[in-house]
Amino acid sequence: MNYFPIFIDIKKKSCLVVGGGDIAFRKITLLLKANAQVICIDGAACKSVKALAGDGKITLIERGFEVSDINNQVLIISATDDTQLNAQVSQLAHDANIPVNVVDSPDLCSFIMPSIVDRSPIVIAISSAGKAPVLARLIRAKLESTIPHAYGKLAELAGNFRDQVKAKFSNIEDRRYFWERVFSGIVAEKVFSGKVDEAKVDMQQQLDDSSNTEVGEVYLVGGGPGDPDLLTFKALRLMQQADVILYDRLVSEEVMELVRRDAELIYVGKERDNHSVPQDGINQLLVDLAKKGRRVCRLKGGDPFIFGRGGEEIETLAENGIPFQVVPGITAASGCSTYSGIPLTHRDYSQSCRFVTGHLKDGSMNLPWSELAVEQQTIVFYMALKGAQHLSDKLIEYGMRSDMPVALVEKGTTPDHRVWTTTLGELPNVVATQPIKAPTLIIVGEVVKLREKLNWFDTSN
């Protein structure tokens, strides 16, 4: 190690910043987050620094640096563009054994300002020893995307129960096992979901009866339209901590690559007239697995509440008292249209948008055609490829123009993304003659004309 990592308590202690420019302002902001008493010295401080002084948050001394300024300081930062002054401040601090940092000058520093992930009281510091600060910031960005902000609240909760846990478990191994269960179980999930009071109750119950078997939880997660980069942070976190993954055929291989490696995978995909597991069976399986204490991720393509039967599944969970969470996903309509360069709404072409299923529960396609066949509206049909002839006939029958633009988007947002554009009248012929396969969305509306100008993702067709 080039530097020994250490955290210093500077609460209500005097820290000196030499320089009052934009860089100094950023350093001052970090010191204030640690509740330091900041003194800034600069004869020409920037507006941001002066604003902090005007608000009484720092002490600004508007003059040049003097040797006596280092007296009684516990930490010094020099952030000026004067190399001689920076070197002087560094030497004085070293002689007085005061920790000093000179911005962008590692050789003059006794400590390095790291990139910080702040989930107070959890704080993560990343340093490249001054060799590659941009790389350190990129690593911080990756950590920011995977560590929930509520980890700080979870740490606070743990701190409040620490003495009770120590009294309950005299053996350090027992204590460690207990905390591992807490930090990876339902208590943590309730904190992450904002249910801190409920988490406290569960925590107390686990302490009162540590032998009690914990009921599992179900995560109803939207896997989006296929591109793994479109997953939410929360979806990714739950996917990677679930013991069991129930997934359907619309979840892309790329998304499945991100689930926990040792999780049990159960395929429950459904195609038209070919259900690997009936919906009632899926509902009951979720209940049974959760009652065994398993953390279950029900992973669905798109959004679970948009033609995903998510409502049916959580109805069953609620009836059986199973805790659950629902994580929205980018629905296929939004993902496929965006990646095709087709805005769903546009001031000149469409002031409303309808999401419609082309496959009702009874197997019919009995839709409110008169409400759909109107101008200035975009219609997105899910699961309607086999019913293309019927929807074309009905929309035209109820007054929609046969030359209304139509797009068919197959496997949208994935590497196999393909788009066909046609008209409503020609739609059945295109479906019959082109190698179009499910999953395919059908978009009807004047907005389809914008694809020629706005197509940014796929230029092959």
What CATH number does residue 385 fall under?
Answer: 3.30.950.10
**Looking at the structure, do residues 321 and 346 belong to the same domain, yes or no?**
no
Within its chain, how far is the Cα of 398 from the centroid? 43
The reported pLDDT for the residue numbered 361 is 60
Q: Is 301 annotated as a binding residue?
A: yes
In a domain, 373, yes or no: yes
- Tell me, yes or no, whether 67 and 86 share the same domain: yes
Please indicate if the annotation marks 22 as binding a ligand.
yes
Q: Which of 172, 188, 208 is the last residue of a domain?
A: 208
Position 199 in a domain: yes
What CA–CA distances, in Å, run from 332 to 99, 234, 353, 408? 54, 19, 14, 12
Would strands 324-327 and 217-222 be described as parallel, antiparallel, or unpaired?
parallel
203 annotated ligand-binding residue: no
pLDDT in the model for residue 210: 55
Q: Are residues 348 and 264 in the same domain?
A: no
Q: Of 307, 330, 353, which residue constitutes the final position of a domain?
A: 330
Same structural domain for residues 32 and 56?
Answer: yes
Please check whether residues 449 and 341 belong to one and the same domain: yes
**Among 270, 291, 386, 449, which one carries the catalytic annotation?**
270
Residues 6+ apart with CB under 8 A from 454: 341, 342, 343
DSSP run (H or E) holding 407:
strand 405-410
Q: Which of 69, 202, 227, 248 is catalytic?
A: 248
Question: Is residue 122 assigned to a domain?
Answer: no
128 lies in a domain?
no
Q: Enter the tokens of residue 128.
A: 């490249």
CA distance 182 to 177: 9
Residue bearing tokens 């993954």: 245
Q: Which residue range(s) make up the domain with 48?
A: 14-113
DSSP letter at 215?
P
C-alpha–C-alpha distance, residues 223 and 269, integer Å: 14
Structural domains in the chain (count)? 4
- 19 is an annotated ligand-binding site residue: no
> How do strand 295-300 and strand 217-222 relate by DSSP bridges?
parallel
d(CA 292, CA 90): 61
At 272 the pLDDT is 59
Is residue 461 in a domain? Answer: no
Q: Report if residue 283 sits inside a domain.
A: yes
Angle at the Cα of 60 from the Cα atoms of 54 and 65, rounded to 5 degrees: 160
303 a known binding residue?
yes
Nearest to 40 by CA among 26, 109, 108, 92: 26
The kind and range of the H/E element at 390 are: helix 388-397
Q: Is residue 270 flagged as an active site residue?
A: yes
Question: Crossing angle of helices 22-33/47-54, nearest 10°?
Answer: 40
Say which CATH number the domain at 282 has. Answer: 3.40.1010.10
Structure token pair of residue 116: 């910080």
- pTM of the entire predicted model: 0.70
Length of the chain measured in residues: 461
Which pLDDT value is given to residue 227?
95
Q: 88, 113, 138: which is the final residue of a domain?
A: 113
User: Do 271 and 350 belong together in one domain?
Assistant: no
The strand pair at 217-222 and 122-126 is best described as: unpaired
Q: What's the confidence (pLDDT) of residue 118?
A: 92
Known binder of ligand: residue 23?
Answer: yes
CATH number at residue 67: 3.40.50.720
User: Does 352 lie in the same domain as 306?
Assistant: no
In a domain, 146, yes or no: no
DSSP string, 9-26: --TT-EEEEE--SHHHHH
Kindly report the backbone phi and psi dihedral angles of residue 376, in degrees, each rounded to the nearest multiple of 5, phi listed first: 60, 35
Write out the two tokens for 428: 């059945």
Do 436 and 341 fall within a single domain?
Answer: yes
Q: Is 411 one of the annotated active-site residues of the chain?
A: no
Six-digit token string for 397: 């029958």
Helices (H), 104-194: 133-146, 151-168, 172-184, 186-192
- pLDDT by residue for the chain (461 residues), tens only, comes to 888 889 999 999 999 999 999 999 999 999 999 999 999 999 999 999 999 999 999 999 999 999 999 999 999 999 999 999 999 999 999 999 999 999 989 899 999 889 999 999 999 999 988 888 899 999 999 898 888 889 999 999 999 999 999 999 888 888 887 898 888 788 988 898 899 999 999 899 888 875 555 678 899 999 999 999 999 989 998 998 898 999 999 999 999 999 988 899 999 986 655 556 888 999 999 999 999 988 899 999 999 999 988 999 999 999 999 999 999 999 999 999 999 999 999 999 999 999 999 876 656 688 999 999 999 999 999 999 999 999 999 999 999 999 999 999 999 999 999 999 999 999 999 999 999 999 999 999 999 999 999 999 875 55
Query: Do 361 and 446 belong together in one domain?
Result: yes
* 124 is a domain residue: no
Q: Is 383 annotated as a binding residue?
A: yes
Statement to judge: residues 236 and 323 lie in one domain:
yes
d(CA 376, CA 401): 12
For residues 357 and 323, state if they share a domain.
no
Q: In angstroms, what CA-CA distances link 47 with 72, 78, 102, 176?
A: 27, 18, 22, 50
Q: Is residue 412 annotated as involved in ligand binding?
A: yes
Q: Is the same domain home to 199 and 261? A: no
Q: Is 9 annotated as a binding residue?
A: no
Pairing relationship of beta strands 295-300 and 324-327 according to DSSP bridges: unpaired
